Amino acid sequence: MPRHTDRVVPPSPPPRDADPLAPDVWGFADTKFQILPNGNVSLSGRRYALAGLELPELLPWVERVMDIKVPRSGLLESRYPPTVPAAKACDEFRASVALQIGAHYVTQDPLERLRHGHGQTLEEMYRVKHDVLPRVPDVVLFPGSEADVVAIVDAARVHNVCLIPYGGGTNVTDALRCPVEEPRPIASVDLSRMNRIRWVDPTNQLACIEAGAVGRHLQAQLAQLGFTLGHEPDSVEFSTLGGWIATQASGMKKNRYGNIEDIVLDVHAVTPLGVLTRNVVPPRESVGVDARRWMLGSEGTLGIITHAVVRIFPLPEVQRYDAILFPSFERGFEFLQQLTRSRAIPASVRLVDNLQFQLSQTLKPRAEGLQALKRRFEKWVVTRLKHFDPDEMVACTLVYEGSAAEVAHQQRTVERLAAAHGGMRAGAENGRKGYELTFGIAYIRDFVMKLRVMGESFETSVAWSDALELCERVKRRVVLEHAARELPGRPFITCRITQLYQTGVAVYFYLGFGVEGVADPLRAYLEIEHAARDEILAAGGSLSHHHGVGKIRREFLPRTLSPAARAWTKAVKDAVDPQNILAAGNQ
């Protein structure tokens, strides 16, 4: 720990969120897409760019693209909450834990157990609204300190209970799904009470933060002190520091702030062998094989992360959004590659394909008067004057953050390279909307489920040379699989290049299709997603860029890691958790 610096201790922590669950599962109760009596879609209460807007073009466009009829009424309404399975008895364990952390923080309330028994995969969302979860935790614990967590791990060992750590519940890997075959009681360890920023060290740009701290609260608290973590995953509204570490998360502004492995300098974790700690947090070191690094990507199977020391940054002097149109995905992709080679890369750079560009255009309110005229003029310039094909053109959204000099240097580079690749600036407002659309996509997914459309995202990372073909192959494969099942209409499949690296990119896909009249819509969805992952691996993509393995991609591990690599994973797990206390069963 730094010694000769004045640490700042922020004011009291934010309250724990009110249950963000019902009725839309993901999101606050005030955040909701709905269909108005006039047939338009509106979004209420959202804190990002779309809030309060009425979207007349969304549903007609969906119907056209997917060749299905979307009902304006008679929606598939959620039947949440489903029947919750009975809890296994674990009275002695509960009593033992209650003694340490307080009886109030040990609950078997069915809704709490339900809430802690799933993440945010499509399957989980579908089951929680329209089916059942076959197994959920038998008890939920809310430790308030590292000592509480130590007591919980000890009690679990003594009473033969298994533990699943719980952060924001936002994973999309079935990481929280309780194994049906687990004979022991399962306790969910919810870190939400451990959400404080313990200290901020302005001199060394460090902060010590508890694992349960939620992204959007961290942003607000650090901003009050003039700092930012810079880590902004799509899930930042709900996901936690501990979850980011356990899943090896990536933030949208990683070009400036780094991915979680760059941000985290120290991790404290309670493990079955004891508490992993160190006496200093140096900027970089070589001290052998360091156990704390193993928490990155551990997905709840090796220990319970209690807090971490992270680097923080002064709030950027300048923040600027921009968007650039390109005549085709290929031209935009070439621009990205040149921009990466220039090393003058803005904080966030993303390239959406034509379909996703069209989607973003439908997420606009009806324009009136001057606004409508302006929009028509812009369209005329793009399509008639610049000869961009509306069915080919794509958009790159950019977020600049940094000092005035840094941003100016990046902007000059972007403008020069964009011009060289046929790009045309589309303005800051489009850039901001494009960036913020990401935060809304989970809400859209939940909304379209009501319209009997199954939708989900998945991602990969891939070398530059293989990226374009991978995108094409995955799209083709989805269309083929959809057709083979004689599902209604056409599938919605779109991608964006969402992260840039020296040696390759991350690619994000959105998939959706109508299931009106389909006998087993969930099975159809799971089979197609599985096929898409198969195609990704065959095309040279990774198993996951940042979502992780969890249980949803476990079966693909043999295609990525050699038998010895998997034997190592198992040997290490058996060695450090011989009783399999941390039995989430991920990886």
Q: Which residues are annotated as catalytic? A: 508
Exposed/middle/buried for residue 458 (C-beta within 10 Å: 0-12, 13-18, 19+): buried
Q: Pick out residues in 385-404 that bind a second copy (CB under 8 A).
A: 402-403
Q: Pick out residues in 308-337 that bind a second copy (CB under 8 A).
A: 311, 313-314
Contact window for a second copy (CB under 8 A) among 39-47, 95-103, 179-187, 290-298: 290-298
CA dist 443 and 452 (Å) reads: 15
Identity of the residue, 246 or 396, whose beta carbon is nearer to a second copy in the bound complex: 246
Contact window for a second copy (CB under 8 A) among 47-55, 86-94, 326-334, 405-413: 405-413
CA dist 393 and 390 (Å) reads: 6
CA dist 524 and 318 (Å) reads: 47
CA dist 224 and 215 (Å) reads: 14
Q: Pick out residues in 516-555 that bind a second copy (CB under 8 A).
A: 537, 540-549
Binding mask 442-471 toward a second copy (x if CB under 8 A, else -) reads ------------------xxxxxxx--x--
Sign of CA dihedral 62, 67, 73, 79: negative
Give Cα separations from 389 to 283, 381, 384, 392, 412 (angstroms).
50, 12, 9, 5, 27
Taking the complex as a whole, the smallest distance from the CB of residue 177 to a second copy amounts, in Å, to: 16
Q: Identify whether the C-beta of residue 415 lies closer than 8 Å to the C-beta of residue 344.
A: no
Identity of the residue, 5 or 383, whose beta carbon is nearer to a second copy in the bound complex: 5
Q: Does 586 bind a second copy (CB under 8 A)?
A: yes
Taking the complex as a whole, the smallest distance from the CB of residue 504 to a second copy amounts, in Å, to: 4
Identity of the residue, 51 or 275, whose beta carbon is nearer to a second copy in the bound complex: 275
Give Cα separations from 473 to 466, 494, 501, 514, 531 (angstroms).
11, 12, 22, 22, 11
Q: Which of 77, 285, 429, 520 binds a second copy (CB under 8 A)?
A: 285
CA dist 249 and 89 (Å) reads: 35
Question: In the block, which residue shows the tokens 């450090």?
Answer: 576
Q: Which of 162, 164, 281, 398 binds a second copy (CB under 8 A)?
A: 281
Taking the complex as a whole, the smallest distance from the CB of residue 312 to a second copy amounts, in Å, to: 9
Q: Does 438 bind a second copy (CB under 8 A)?
A: no
Q: Identify whether the C-beta of residue 300 lies closer than 8 Å to the C-beta of residue 281.
A: no
**Which residues have CB under 8 Å from 241's CB, separation 6+?**
167, 209, 210, 211, 212, 213, 215, 218, 305, 308, 310
Contact window for a second copy (CB under 8 A) among 69-77, 90-98, 291-299, 510-518: 291-299
Q: Which of 284, 368, 385, 519 binds a second copy (CB under 8 A)?
A: 284
Say whether the peptide bond before residue 143 is cis (omega within 30 degrees of 0): no
Contact window for a second copy (CB under 8 A) among 40-48, 52-60, 232-240, 496-504: 496-504
Identity of the residue, 361 or 569, whose beta carbon is nearer to a second copy in the bound complex: 569
Identity of the residue, 90 or 149, whose beta carbon is nearer to a second copy in the bound complex: 149
Contact window for a second copy (CB under 8 A) among 61-69, 177-185, 288-296, 481-489: 288-296
Taking the complex as a whole, the smallest distance from the CB of residue 270 to a second copy amounts, in Å, to: 9
Taking the complex as a whole, the smallest distance from the CB of residue 65 to a second copy amounts, in Å, to: 30
The gap from C-alpha 213 to its chain's centroid, in whole angstroms, comes to 16
Identity of the residue, 144 or 258, whose beta carbon is nearer to a second copy in the bound complex: 258
Binding mask 337-366 toward a second copy (x if CB under 8 A, else -) reads ----xxxx----------------------
Exposed/middle/buried for residue 448 (C-beta within 10 Å: 0-12, 13-18, 19+): buried
Identity of the residue, 185 or 541, whose beta carbon is nearer to a second copy in the bound complex: 541
Q: Identify whether the C-beta of residue 59 lies closer than 8 Å to the C-beta of residue 41.
A: yes
# binding residues, a second copy (CB under 8 A)? 102
Identity of the residue, 27 or 119, whose beta carbon is nearer to a second copy in the bound complex: 119
Q: Pick out residues in 152-211 that bind a second copy (CB under 8 A).
A: 201, 203-206
Question: In the block, which residue shows the tokens 């939920």?
Answer: 140
Q: Pick out residues in 468-487 that bind a second copy (CB under 8 A).
A: 469
Taking the complex as a whole, the smallest distance from the CB of residue 463 to a second copy amounts, in Å, to: 4
Instruction: Look up residue 397 and give its DSSP letter.
Output: E
Q: Does 5 bind a second copy (CB under 8 A)?
A: yes
Identity of the residue, 195 or 461, whose beta carbon is nearer to a second copy in the bound complex: 461
CA dist 444 and 129 (Å) reads: 16
Q: Which of 501, 516, 530, 531 binds a second copy (CB under 8 A)?
A: 501
Q: Pick out residues in 248-277 that bind a second copy (CB under 8 A).
A: 248-250, 259, 265, 271, 273-277
Taking the complex as a whole, the smallest distance from the CB of residue 2 to a second copy amounts, in Å, to: 4
Number of CB atoms found within 10 A of residue 87's CB: 17
Instruction: Look up residue 227 and give its DSSP letter.
Output: E
Which segments of 279-334 are extended strands (E)? 304-311, 313-314, 318-326
Q: Identify whether the C-beta of residue 240 lies closer than 8 Å to the C-beta of residue 310.
A: no
Taking the complex as a whole, the smallest distance from the CB of residue 350 to a second copy amounts, in Å, to: 15
Identity of the residue, 6 or 368, whose beta carbon is nearer to a second copy in the bound complex: 6
